[in-house]
Structure 1
Amino acid sequence: MLAASGSGQVDLVGHSQGGTLSSWYLKADGGANTSDPSKNKVKKVVQLGATNHGTTMSGIETLADKLHILESGEKPLGKAGVQQYWKSDFIKELNADGDTVPGVDYTVIGTKYDEITTPWQSTFMTAGPGATVQNIPLQEGCFVDFSAHLSMSYSPRAIGLVKRALDPSAPTAPCVPRAPAF
């Protein structure tokens, strides 16, 4: 994308594990230059319902842990499912040096009705040195948006918040009634 656009930096938007993988890219795959943040390949990260601090999947992964299903390998839940568990080696490694990297502006959007990223607040990040984080509950200022994990990606409010995070001159995110969709 950098080569195609001729730009020195890009912005990343990711939902669920896509948001978590944006953090992995910055920390482990060359997206950030910790010694010189002006050389980061990424300027802004916008996440929706990312499993930044793992998930219990409403208790399903905790039950799988108690039944020792997680120890049996990746087959029952798949590698991605196991990696999202709040006790996974992936999540521990991802957050070992803090949530953020210097020089990146993060916007993290979570929904109170998230049934996948649980507890829902585990999506939120804490800014480290040289980074900014704006944690936004989708229902803040809009209690009628009942979007859940999957439906938040097409919530007019969430879309408006993403646009605003990428371009502060974008219109204010609308507040419209949204029923949960599973």
Structure 2
Amino acid sequence: MTTPELPALSGLTPVFAVTVLESEDSAAYLALRRFLRDALAERGRAHAVRVLGELLLTDPDGDVDGLCTVSDLGFDGLYVVVRQRWQSPRWTRSGPADLTHELTVALRRQRLVALHTVISGARLRRWARSGPYRFLPDTVLVAYDQASRGTVDVASAWSRLTTGTRLAFPEYLSAVAEALDTLADALVAEDSPRRL
């Protein structure tokens, strides 16, 4: 599923800032997509919002904007949304409205999802508590922090990884894939003692 107003993915340059969620439920990714779509359609404190475009790829052979396929990138699913938001500047209660464009990207690999979004960590946590996803355990994030040797800021309470670095979309996908590899290894290590 795609919409015509979505910018070319190859032209995106997101900042590496992701919240990582985990679920064993194979249908969880579509539930996450519904949550994201609904949350992004709410205007909150803005005057108005509009979902400008979205792309959902869950077929491993799905073409990612001419870059390659979803599976070539090492992912099982890709969801991209661009939202427009009109809001008064902080320095006035009325008058001009600022227009901002906000990017959400959800990348799924097996039981992990890396989520880049403007939706607050608190709102994600509330949703995750009632849904099929959970934030990663502290021990897994600490292991990731040690493996990254301080190159990535880790906020365990929010299951969040950030560098503040703006990356071209192919490099962003590669950085997320590398992070998910390291986190998956840490999850296996954490799960192993339980299975003995």
The TM-score with structure 1 as length reference comes to: 0.27
* Greater percentage in strand: 2
Higher relative contact order (CA 8 A, sep 6+): 2
